[in-house]
Amino acid sequence: MADISKQRGVSDLLDSVNRGSGGAFAELIACVYDDLHGVARHSLRKRLGVRWQRATLQPSALVNEAVLDLMRQYAEWQNREHFFAIAHRIMHRIISEDLRRKAAAKRGRGRDRQPLDSRALGLTDPAPDPAVQVMEALDQLHEASPRAAEIAVMKVFCQCTTEQISNRLDIATRTVEREWTFAKAWLRKQLGES
């Protein structure tokens, strides 16, 4: 009989919360706290097995976090079952986040990463990547002569002819040839040094 009146009391409180009555949410939580605590214990036992009693996340803390989430994520609860289903889902998410956070900490997440120094390990520096060297040399050429760099890119990467470059840049073919000659010599010198 007390169970039925409690269910009716919870339903009435849910209606009051849904209508926006002040203080109804606090009354609702006070009324269902023991039930939420049972749901929390069950959820922890289900997710953690026999380890649940040694877990850092205890049922009371889980209920408190779930209540805060219920307040933040207020949805119009249809009935008692709907309210407890949402509470259970929230608790499940909180437990999952706690487990992920602990697993990340176990793997060293959050610690300062220290780069390896190959010389300190007695390793020689790896050979520089030729493609990276060419791109760096083109960047330097662009600083020295932007048009020569543009012509070099069009010749090498786009496979454009002198006439095509002349038309695209609206300059004389002789200027394209002169800039291309300069770019080749400049790049040979830069790439020969590195």
- Residue 104 reports pLDDT greater than 90: no
Assess whether 44 and 91 both reside in one domain. yes
Helix (H) or strand (E) holding 194: none
pLDDT of residue 165: 92
- Residue 150 reports pLDDT greater than 80: yes
| Triad 134, 137, 142: Cα angle to 5° | 125
Here the CATH number for the domain that contains residue 168 is 1.10.10.10
The tens digit of pLDDT for each residue in 25-63 reads: 888 889 999 999 988 888 888 777 756 666 677 888 888
Assess whether 99 and 140 both reside in one domain. no
Decide if 187 contacts 141 (C-beta within 8 A).
Answer: yes
The tens digit of pLDDT for each residue in 162-189 reads: 999 999 899 999 999 999 999 999 999 9
Print the domain residue range for 11.
2-106
123 in any annotated domain? no
What integer is the mean pLDDT of 93-117? Answer: 73
Q: How many domains does the chain have?
A: 2
| Triad 68, 72, 74: Cα angle to 5° | 115
Decide if 177 contacts 163 (C-beta within 8 A).
Answer: no
Assess whether 88 and 142 both reside in one domain. no
- Residue 122 reports pLDDT greater than 50: yes
